[in-house]
Amino acid sequence: MALTPVENQTPGFVALVAAAAGAFFGLFVGTAQGSGLLGVLIGAVLIGGLGFVLAGMRDQERLIRWILAAAFAAAGYVMAGLPSAVMGLLFGAFVGWFIFWLSTSRYRVHLAPYLTPGQVLWHYTFRVICGVIFIFLITPILVVMPLSFNAQDFFTFTPKMLQFDPDGYSLKHYRDFFTNADWQQAMWNSIKIAPMATILSVGFGTLAAIGLSQPHVPFRRAIMAILISPMIVPLIISAAGMYFFYSRIGLQGTYFGVVLAHAALGIPFVIITVTATLVGFDRSLTRAAANMGAGPVTTFFRVQMPLILPGVISGGLFAFITSFDEVVVVLFVGSAGQKTLPWQMFIGLREQISPTILAVATILVVVSICLLTVVEMLRRRSERLRGMSPT
């Protein structure tokens, strides 16, 4: 198989790829200014032209990259002040890096030398698509977090915030959250409900996963489908069904009813994570424990549980996040006495448009990130225990 040599690219190639990237960024800038097509054209011409000119100036790469960053920062400052200058600086630095990354073929350094140009194109196209999806998902979170420090009672960036004026930023919304009785009551309700729902989810979900992992269990696929159905069925349907059922048995509007409802929503996450952990479980260990005289309970807690513990904890964390962030079901099965934090946020949006919601949302995002980080650490630990990862 012929190997593709790594050599400097022609100005035409660099200009073509740079123009495509410029059109992509120009689309967003132009759309924000009211003309997406014009932004695409300007971005393609500007970045493509820079790519064509700079492709033959590789020996001055460092100086040119500094000049580009400074030029875009100056242009941004002239157009819209300090915030645009910062964005221009970052964009200019990226453009300089991108052009020379293309012209010197550094994009092929870490790839297999036998890849064809089409395979290289798909390699980076796939990563660009994933990056765009990631940005699309993460942008709303990144917008909410700085807005939570707004000194004014607005849901938009004020001129002082855009100018990075310290007077435009404040912790008043966080102060309101920690001092307001309604918010504190809602927070304590969530703290009381979510852990209990998590305990029930972990208990029932782990037992169900272990039972359904046995090959001799009849109709286990159908049972599994029923148990994970709360993840598939629209939440509003599940909430309505729980409301009518709980109303008949006297659990609607009670603390125990909300806990059971949230546990039902969390059980599928526990089943899925524990089942995935059990895929690599060596069942000869349980048979060996039985041959040594250990009972089923001892075998479970001393042999099986330590090995599947990462999956159990991961499922528990997902169940906790589900319960802590859930609002639809609690609106149906809860009462004013079980008003949780997401319920209070919903009220704040519907009735008074309180900016404190932004502070609460930021706190919830930080908590979720911490929990998901723990989940990822446990996943890696589980892989090491099962010998799937060398590190």
Q: Which residue has the tokens 């221009």?
A: 88
pLDDT at res. 301: 78
180-353 under CATH 1.10.260.40, yes or no: no
Structure tokens at 321: 């996040």
Query: Domain-by-domain residue ranges, the chain?
Result: 11-111, 180-353
User: Each residue of 47-81: pLDDT tens digit?
Assistant: 888 888 888 888 888 888 898 888 888 888 887 67
- CA neighbor of 286 nearest in space, from 275, 276, 277, 297: 297
The predicted model gives 295-311 an average pLDDT of: 79
CA distance 113 to 123: 13
pLDDT at res. 275: 87
How many Cα atoms are found within 13 Å in the side-chain-facing hemisphere of 228? 16
* Helix residue spans in the chain (DSSP H): 11-33, 36-54, 61-80, 82-103, 117-147, 159-162, 172-179, 181-212, 220-227, 229-232, 235-249, 255-278, 284-291, 296-299, 305-325, 328-333, 341-347, 356-385
> Max alpha carbon distance in the chain (Å)?
80
Residue 328 has pLDDT above 70, yes or no: yes
User: Which of the given ranges, 24-33, 57-66, 264-273, 358-367, has the highest pLDDT on average?
Assistant: 264-273
pTM, 2 dp: 0.70
Q: Tell me, what DSSP letter sits at residue 387?
A: T
Q: Which residue has the tokens 């979170």?
A: 141
pLDDT at res. 390: 47
